[in-house]
């Protein structure tokens, strides 16, 4: 395991909308097994900082499994086994010295269903900074909560009711609350697994705008069922099929001029 990761494949540049930032997350030959069943095979992908990478592909092709490798959420699944190399800023996330709880603060995750804690709006966002000891006073904590809610585009809607339950919010607001909760611990990477699939079109549009703003600051990896969404929000797209990456490309190129027949078939709706 001490050998350096040698990669001869060209690194896909971030798209024209994004300045060329370095690689934040890199995977090489990642395979995942659930018991005897292989769900991912040799997935190698570079995800740029300050850019959005979209993962697309038919249901069951391994997108969520791959996302969970990046912050070791597969550790929590009984019988799951991960092989290959996953690096954050060049460091192996599976190294023994890495604390998965600390890793998950650096690599936050937003799920399909908004999942606020059964607590107040304030407490939902304050929870992470508190358990990670990021603030030293009440006023500092209040500032962190306000900043996170502002960056998640929710502050104006909740500033006067921070003590109300997170679940009193609409679905779209709850999803922005969950994003604020992730932001509050100052992450570097935000993983989103179909974050809009439970939302209406207006709430979806707000989340997409938010993703576009957040990309100025974070490495974002989003799984989406919607090719239109991938095209709108991402600079790089990876097309997964049956546990493998079929094609990686700049989003504009992958959707207009795919190199692989399977990609073309998928984006033109022939399967999936």
Binding residues (CB under 5 A) for Mg ion: these are 64
Long-range contacts of 131-135 (CB under 8 A, 24+ apart): 132/102, 132/105, 132/185, 134/185, 134/186
Which SS3 state, helix, strand or coil, does residue 163 take? coil
Which SS3 state, helix, strand or coil, does residue 94 take? coil
Considering only residues 114 to 153 of the shown chain, the ones binding ligand ADP according to CB under 6 A are none
Least distance (Å) between residue 78 CB and ligand ADP: 8
Q: Residue 117 touches which of ligand ADP, Mg ion, none (CB < 5 to 8 A by kind)?
A: none
Half-sphere exposure of 68 (CA within 13 A, CB side): 20
Binding mask 18-57 for ligand ADP (x = CB under 6 A): ----------------x----x-----------------x
Half-sphere exposure of 248 (CA within 13 A, CB side): 15
Alpha-helix residue ranges (DSSP H) falling in 107-260: 121-131, 138-151, 155-158, 171-183, 201-214, 227-233, 251-256
Q: Residue 72 touches which of Mg ion, ligand ADP, none (CB < 5 to 8 A by kind)?
A: none
Least distance (Å) between residue 216 CB and ligand ADP: 27
Least distance (Å) between residue 226 CB and Mg ion: 13
Least distance (Å) between residue 58 CB and ligand ADP: 7
Binding mask 57-96 for ligand ADP (x = CB under 6 A): x-xxxxxxx-----------x-------------------
Q: Residue 159 touches which of Mg ion, ligand ADP, none (CB < 5 to 8 A by kind)?
A: none
- Cα 206 from Cα 167, distance rounded (Å): 19
Q: Name the DSSP letter for residue 21.
A: -
Q: Residue 65 touches which of ligand ADP, Mg ion, none (CB < 5 to 8 A by kind)?
A: ligand ADP
Q: Which is nearer to ligand ADP, 34 or 127 (CB)?
A: 34
Q: Going along the chain, which residue ranges are E strands?
A: 23-34, 37-48, 51-56, 80-88, 91-92, 107-110, 189-193, 219-223, 236-241, 244-250
Q: Which is nearer to ligand ADP, 166 or 243 (CB)?
A: 243
Q: Which is nearer to Mg ion, 53 or 173 (CB)?
A: 53
* Angle at alpha carbon of residue 214, lines to 213 and 219, rounded to 5°: 135
Q: Which is nearer to ligand ADP, 63 or 176 (CB)?
A: 63
Size of the site for ligand ADP (CB under 6 A): 11
Q: Residue 19 touches which of ligand ADP, Mg ion, none (CB < 5 to 8 A by kind)?
A: none
Q: Which is nearer to ligand ADP, 65 or 71 (CB)?
A: 65
Report in angstroms the alpha-carbon separations of 49 from 34, 66, 72, 79: 30, 18, 19, 32
- Cα 171 from Cα 152, distance rounded (Å): 14
Q: Which is nearer to ligand ADP, 57 or 153 (CB)?
A: 57
Least distance (Å) between residue 97 CB and ligand ADP: 27
In the complex, the residues that contact ligand ADP under the rule CB under 6 A are: 34, 39, 57, 59-65, 77
């Amino acid at each position: 395991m001490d050998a350096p990761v040698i990669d001869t494949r060209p690194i896909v540049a971030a798209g024209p909308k994004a300045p060329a930032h370095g690689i934040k997350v890199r995977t090489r030959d990642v395979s995942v097994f659930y018991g005897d069943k292989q769900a991912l095979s040799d997935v190698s992908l570079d995800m740029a900082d300050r850019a959005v990478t979209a993962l697309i592909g038919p249901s069951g092709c391994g997108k969520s499994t791959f996302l969970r490798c990046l912050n070791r959420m597969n550790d929590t699944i009984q019988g799951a086994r991960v092989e290959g190399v996953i690096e954050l800023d060049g460091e192996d996330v599976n190294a023994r010295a890495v604390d998965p709880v600390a890793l998950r603060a650096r690599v936050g995750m937003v799920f399909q269903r908004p999942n606020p804690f059964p607590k107040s709006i304030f407490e939902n966002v304050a929870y992470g900074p508190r358990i990670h000891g990021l603030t030293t006073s009440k006023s500092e904590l209040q500032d962190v909560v306000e900043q996170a809610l502002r960056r998640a585009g929710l502050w104006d809607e909740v500033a006067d009711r921070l003590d109300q339950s997170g679940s009193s919010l609409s679905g779209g607001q709850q999803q922005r609350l969950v994003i604020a909760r992730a932001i509050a611990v100052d992450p570097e990477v935000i993983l989103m697994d179909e974050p809009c699939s439970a939302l209406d079109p207006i709430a979806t549009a707000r989340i997409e705008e938010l993703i576009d703003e957040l990309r100025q600051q974070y490495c974002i990896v989003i799984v989406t069922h919607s090719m239109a969404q991938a095209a709108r929000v991402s600079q790089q797209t990876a097309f997964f099929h049956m546990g493998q990456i079929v094609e990686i490309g700049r989003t504009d190129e992958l959707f207009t001029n795919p190199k692989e027949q399977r990609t073309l078939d998928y984006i033109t709706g022939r399967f999936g």
